[in-house]
Amino acid sequence: MSIQFFEMKNLLTLLVLALASSWLTAQITITADDYFPAAGDKLKTIIDIAPTGVTITQAGGPFDWDFTQLAISLEQETVYQPASEGNAAASFPNAELFTAGGVGGETYYNVSPNAFETLGFNGPDPAGVGVMTLFKFTSPIPERHAPLTFPATFSSSSAVLVPFATADIPGGFLDSLNLPILPDSIRVRVTTQRNDFVDAYGNLAIPGGTYPVLREKRTEFRETRVDAKVPIFGWQDVTDFIIAGGNFAGLGKDTVITYNFFSNEAKEAIAVVTMDDSGTNAQQVRFKNNGVLSNVNNLKADETLVLVSPNPVISEVKFELRNFVPGKYHLQIFNTNGALVLTKNIQLNQSQTESIDLSALSGGQYFYRVSDEKNSVQTSGKLLKINP
């Protein structure tokens, strides 16, 4: 009896060791050389703003994730250049790299052996108001960590203060802020706290390829406030006035959850999944562009759709919404970086037309999305804004 027990104990020990060995060897380690951008790199990605077939598993691994049903809403190419070649290089002496946006904006980065960090921005404001600005984060924001292993945790915090003179802000945009008095100047305050947790590993399939990956869950707690400087009273927090107007999203406190899938075989993130407010459904996915289109069926005659006119648009655009189940919806507009710039809450009764004034937005390409009360995306598309 004792001999049988001894043999069984040895067998269980060997089994545990075998499983542990398999668990360890199935993972990858991602180094700075593997995925930190360097001067001359051109990273090509695709954004799908209405993703289907995206399932976020529990922590652990190994998993086989299948994101091959992702489709193209917008294609992007990000080119990293030496910081010394940027227009605001003197303002970012610690930067090694910068990237140029489509409307002239520049983002500056610091590269160290353990972190790839964002330092700040120069150019037209990222919100699309059309005001030139330069800002630096109080502490660099880590975008990537090295070495990246499973499991691992990272945490960081930062803040930024961006002032605007009233004379530099388009009048139409000021009117849309719903302020009770015209201010002398405005400033935007943003504080962020990021918690990154490498919580899973496995293989991820996207259109055109399958990659060994580590999954990093990023939880960002963000608070955005707006101050207005008014005669006699000085600086006053006017965030609640703006929110009451209902024309702008992203003010106040917000929690953003993303899942970053990184590999040691590509510098592009294989996929970055942005979750909805519930944290359970994929709202948007940016993924590596392998030059392969997924097999996405055309809309059927009775499916929800949106007709946009005029497109390109100068000021007012009309959205003709068809075949929607009666209820409350969110019509949202994003810039080319995927940042939300405008939200309109609407009550739909199957089919109707909604008009939105876009005169305050700078020229360029945007895309829109219509989602229901549960933030489930119903349809999406592109539009082009032209400033005469």
- Tens of pLDDT, residue by residue over 274-312, are 998 888 889 889 999 998 765 443 334 456 677 787 777
pLDDT at 273: 96
CA angle in degrees (0–180, nearest 5) for 373-377-379: 125
Return d(Cα 228, Cα 234) in angstroms, integer. 8
Return d(Cα 45, Cα 52) in angstroms, integer. 17
Q: Nearest 5°: phi and psi at 335? A: -85, -175
Residue spans per domain, the chain: 32-288, 305-385
pLDDT at 170: 66
pLDDT at 297: 39
| Burial class, 135, CB count within 10 angstroms (exposed 0-12 / middle 13-18 / buried 19+) | middle
Reported as a single tens digit per residue, the pLDDT across 232-248 is 888 888 888 777 766 56
CATH class of the domain defined by 305-385: mainly beta
| DSSP track, 319-372 | EEEESPPSEEEEEEEE-TTS-EEEEEEEEE-SSEEEEEE-TTSPSEEEEEEEEE
Return d(Cα 208, Cα 145) in angstroms, integer. 26
pLDDT at 8: 44
**Residue % of the chain over a pLDDT of 70:** 83
Contact 74, 382 (CB under 8 A): yes
End-to-end CA distance of the chain: 91
Return d(Cα 109, Cα 74) in angstroms, integer. 24
Return d(Cα 319, Cα 308) in angstroms, integer. 5
pLDDT at 379: 79
Q: Which residues of the chain have pLDDT under 70?
A: 1-26, 102-104, 125-130, 170-176, 178, 245-250, 293-304, 387-388
